[in-house]
Amino acid sequence: MITHVIIIIAQFERNFNLTGGGKMIVEGTINAPIEKQTIDPRAQLIILVLINIIGMTNRSFKMEIVSMIVLAMLLIWQGMWEKCLRYSIAYGIVWLMIALSVLIPNPITGLMAMVGVMGRKTVPVIMFASSIIASTKIGKLIAALQDINFPRGLTIALAVAIRFFPTLKEESSVVINSMKMRGLNFNLKSIITHPVLVVENILVPIMMRMTIIADELAVSSMTRGIDSMKKRTSYYENKFAVSNGLLILLFAAMAVMAFMEVI
Amino acid sequence: MVDLAINSFSYDSSNSVALKNIHTTFEEGSCIVLTGKSGCGKSTLLRLINRLIPTFYKGALDGNVVINNKNINEYSNDELVEKIGSVFQNPSSQFFNVDTESEIAFGCENLGLSRKELRRRVHGTAVLLGINHLLNKSIFSLSGGEKQIIAIASIYAMGVDVFLMDEPSANLDVEATKQLENIIGILKANGKTVIIAEHRLHYLRHLADRLIILDKGEFVDEIHGETIKSISTKTLHDKGLRAMVLEERMLCEATANAKTSILVENLDIGYKNLSPVIEDFYECFGSGMINGIVGRNGRGKTTFAKCLCGMLKETGGTIAINGKPYTRKKRLGKIYMVLQNTTSQLFADSVIAELALAKRTSKEDCGYTDDEVLKMLDLLHLKIRHPMSLSGGEKQRLAIAVGIVQNAEAMVLDEPTSGLDYGNMLMVKGMLKKLKDKGKYVIVITHDHEFLTTVCDRVIEL
């Protein structure tokens, strides 16, 4: 029912071109493509907080499933089919682990159940957080946070952190590949038998690379006035669309219901 | 206009003097090239002009930097970034955004320009630099050269007068370097001052008004205007500098014997759901020669190298070493890759431990003692140093040492000379010759044309 509402809103906005939340405003260029649906960064952050609240307070299975479905629909709405599928499978596995511990109770499945219970709480949060990282233009995030007078230092720190995720992913894959080339295994067995060694092998080179890249990035943004005292403007316009407000209301309602244990 | 009156400068982190006795004026609208061996102080000079010294790097300066008749210290941060713009060596780590338009607008956003003005600047810059086709794209889809041009566009949009570039071509292929040359020409034609610190000089031949050679922090020679075009390669090499004119050498097409070769047949490589990167590829890399692989960014050089080294599974075809086919898993470690950033492939806490680690993981004996290998690569005096504390060149040599100890049959080197001066380039050349003489297969991926023509016996275009 709720997901239907979202889809209807989305269709409506697409047809009548009402969405401000994410359309690029480019005058006079022909090559402006139709963007995927995006949610205003402020709304995304508020929803992220609400999802955390739901996760922490909720004790009802029904509510958990509902919130997972809503999240899944939200990702699909933004065109992230693959991401949605991946996290849904992860969520399924989490439940499988819990189910297994109930069916065959022994120490190993008990351990799995522990991981499973943790996963139940974290998968939805990570799922939404990763959709934020994938969908948000950093310039837009900075502008949005500035509009609500978020401190500049914190804004920049947050923007840099998000900017670093793809780099981190890229650098780790290079390190893992070169470990393989050196005959150093990176698999479940090696992680269990030599956890400290594996972490050390991966972390040291990555940290070294990260410090270099962070310095280069800092220098490049300083020479372009990142530490200017002026109020920063934004190339993109952030409009808080109706759908964004409705989404926040929806999640807020779910958070309240979870807290009051309505369902 | 930039007036320099530097008696001396030294970094806090070092005892030696980084710059001394530099008194000169960089005129408006001119293109000045600073060159010299690694560590000669050319980057330091740029950092004094964009005030990264002392805001980011600390040191003691005796002297003055004057920009447009006003001492640099009298400028506010905002005023300075509107006057002086900087482009750096590594195209991928100077981006803040993931799309090109935001990136071009980034500096102007920081300065608080209105949205209307931002749009005007971004599109004005794109028209002037001829890069309309790069607008509204993901940064990750751009080639190195295109990234460098976006970096230039970003500071152009801020309306700066002086462009400082620190080895802007270090990661660019031949085609991209041409694009860079073209853009610098446009900047010059628009009355901008361009100051470039570079090792590779050939692309600046028609642009440079002054070629300044630094050594140990001092201006030791200066060549002006027309003389720059006629300077001989030998004169430059004698000074330890790269050539101004690229040699057009025909590379012999040596044929290889399948018994002693790496034979690649009908190779297909692709990522799922995407069209194959490499299709039905045939190549024979012979032993006893240095094979160069060239090709524009995005043609699959790195993908091919990854597959060759067993980091990526081929979707079809075979790779055989000395007549015996090797699966992906078996190739791991047999064909060894020296990465461009060797930081990512060193794991132990000392040079000697690094070799011990290699010995432990490989099943075969390489036939050399540790000391022999270290001596061969001039690392013996660094035995107990932590790999991360070594210089770039030393790390590179250590990575090669690991490959030798691991008894790898072949070494694939990815851009081994990016950012190297002539002397260091010759060192890499010597090293590859040694590997070749030891009977290793040597494959070099590079867009350093000068290196290619002086080192490789054979060139394969992808």
pLDDT at residue B255, rounded to an integer: 56
- Mutation target for B interface from A155, A220, A238: give the one with most B CBs within 10 A: A220
Chain A interface includes B138 (CB < 8 A): no
- Residue B29, C-beta contacts closer than 8 angstroms, at least 6 positions apart: B188, B191, B192, B193
Query: Is the pLDDT score of B401 beyond 70?
Result: yes
Question: Cβ of A225 and B111 within 8 Å?
Answer: yes
Chain A interface includes B189 (CB < 8 A): no
Question: Cβ of A174 and B339 within 8 Å?
Answer: yes
**Domain extents in chain A:** 1-137+236-263, 152-228
Query: How far apart, in whole angstroms, are the C-alpha atoms of residue A253 and residue A240?
Result: 19
Structure tokens at B266: 């009908």
Q: Which of B86, B114, B361 sits opposite A182 (nearest CB)?
A: B361
In A, which residues are within 8 Å of B136 by CB distance? 24, 26, 29, 31-33
pLDDT at residue B448, rounded to an integer: 85
pLDDT at residue A263, rounded to an integer: 66
Chain A interface includes B119 (CB < 8 A): yes
pLDDT band at B143 (very low <50, low <70, confident <90, very high): confident
Chain A interface includes B362 (CB < 8 A): yes
Query: Is the pLDDT score of A151 beyond 50?
Result: yes
CA-nearest residue of chain A to B340? A174
Query: Does residue B447 contact residue B174 with C-beta atoms inside 8 Å?
Result: yes
Nearest alpha carbon to residue B213 among B191, B235, B193 = B235
Query: How far apart, in whole angstroms, are the C-alpha atoms of residue B264 and residue B15?
Result: 53
Question: Cβ of B311 and A227 within 8 Å?
Answer: no
pLDDT at residue B258, rounded to an integer: 55
Q: What is the mean pLDDT of residues A141-169?
A: 81
pLDDT at residue B107, rounded to an integer: 93
The alpha carbon of residue B193 is apart from the nearest alpha carbon of chain A, in Å, by 17
Query: Does residue B321 contact residue B336 with C-beta atoms inside 8 Å?
Result: no
Say if strands B410-414 and B441-445 run parallel, antiparallel, or are unpaired: parallel
- Mutation target for B interface from A152, A181, A227: give the one with most B CBs within 10 A: A181
Query: Is the pLDDT score of B155 beyond 50?
Result: yes
**A28 — alpha (psi -120 to 50), left (phi > 0) or beta?**
left
Q: What is the mean pLDDT of residues A22-32?
A: 33
Please report where in the chains the tokens 């219970």 appear, as a residue: A117
SS (H, E, C) chain B: CEEEEEEEEEECCCCCCCEEEEEEEECCCCEEEEECCCCCCHHHHHHHHCCHHHHCCCEEEEEEEEECCEEHHHCCHHHHHHHEEEECCCHHHHCCCCEHHHHHHHHHHHCCCCHHHHHHHHHHHHHHHCCHHHCCCEHHHCCHHHHHHHHHHHHHHCCCCEEEEECCCCCCCHHHHHHHHHHHHHHHHCCCEEEEECCCCHHHCCCCCEEEEEECCEEEEEEEHHHHHHCCHHHHHHCCCCCCCCCCCCCCCCCCCHHHEEEEEEEEECCCCCCCCEEEEEEEEECCCEEEEECCCCCCHHHHHHHHCCCCCCCEEEEEECCEECCHHHHECCEEEECCCHHHHCCCCCHHHHHHHHHHHCCCCCCCCHHHHHHHCCCHHHCCCCHHHCCHHHHHHHHHHHHHHCCCCEEEEECCCCCCCHHHHHHHHHHHHHHHHCCCEEEEECCCHHHHHHHCCEEEEC
Question: Cβ of B333 and A183 within 8 Å?
Answer: yes
Question: Cβ of A234 and B109 within 8 Å?
Answer: yes
Segment 323-352 of chain B within 8 Å of chain A by CB? 332-333, 336-337, 339, 341, 343-347
Question: Cβ of B112 and A232 within 8 Å?
Answer: yes
Q: What is the mean pLDDT of residues B81-86?
A: 94
Least confident of A110-124, A155-169, B171-185, B376-390: A155-169
Which secondary structure element, helix H or strand E, spans residue A107, and what is its range? helix A107-135
Chain A interface includes B250 (CB < 8 A): no
Cβ–Cβ pairs < 8 A, chains A and B: 182
Q: Which of A25, A137, A174 sits opposite B99 (nearest CB)?
A: A137
Question: Cβ of B111 and A205 within 8 Å?
Answer: no
Q: How many CB atoms lie within 10 A of CB B119?
A: 20
In A, which residues are within 8 Å of B341 by CB distance? 174, 209
In B, which residues are within 8 Å of A221 by CB distance? 96, 106
Query: How far apart, in whole angstroms, are the C-alpha atoms of residue A94 and residue A123?
Result: 9
Please report where in the chains the tokens 């004790």 appear, as a residue: A59
pLDDT at residue B254, rounded to an integer: 53
Question: Cβ of A29 and B55 within 8 Å?
Answer: no
Chain A interface includes B361 (CB < 8 A): yes
pLDDT at residue B69, rounded to an integer: 93
Q: Report chain B's mean pLDDT, rounded to a whole number.
A: 88
Query: Is the pLDDT score of A19 beyond 60?
Result: no
> Measuring CA to CA, how many Å separate B276 from each of A177, B273, B279, B293, B326?
21, 9, 6, 19, 21
In A, which residues are within 8 Å of B52 by CB distance? 219, 222-223
Query: Is the pLDDT score of B42 beyond 90?
Result: yes
Segment 405-424 of chain B within 8 Å of chain A by CB? 406
Segment 62-101 of chain B within 8 Å of chain A by CB? 77-78, 81-82, 84-86, 88, 90, 93-99, 101
**CB neighbour burial string for B289-316, b if at least 16 within 10 angstroms, e if fewer:** bbbbbbbbbebbbbbbbbbbbbbbebbe
Read off the pLDDT of residues B362-375 as tens digits, 9 standing for 90 and up: 777 888 888 989 98
Question: Cβ of B93 and A233 within 8 Å?
Answer: no
Q: Reading across the β-sheet that carries B441-445, which strands appear in turn?
A: B335-338, B410-414, B441-445, B290-294, B458-461
pLDDT band at A37 (very low <50, low <70, confident <90, very high): low
pLDDT band at A25 (very low <50, low <70, confident <90, very high): very low
- Mutation target for B interface from A182, A185, A200: give the one with most B CBs within 10 A: A182
pLDDT band at B273 (very low <50, low <70, confident <90, very high): low
Chain A interface includes B366 (CB < 8 A): no
- State if pTM tops 0.95: no
Q: What is the mean pLDDT of residues A15-36?
A: 36
Query: Does residue B429 contact residue B457 with C-beta atoms inside 8 Å?
Result: no
pLDDT at residue B128, rounded to an integer: 94
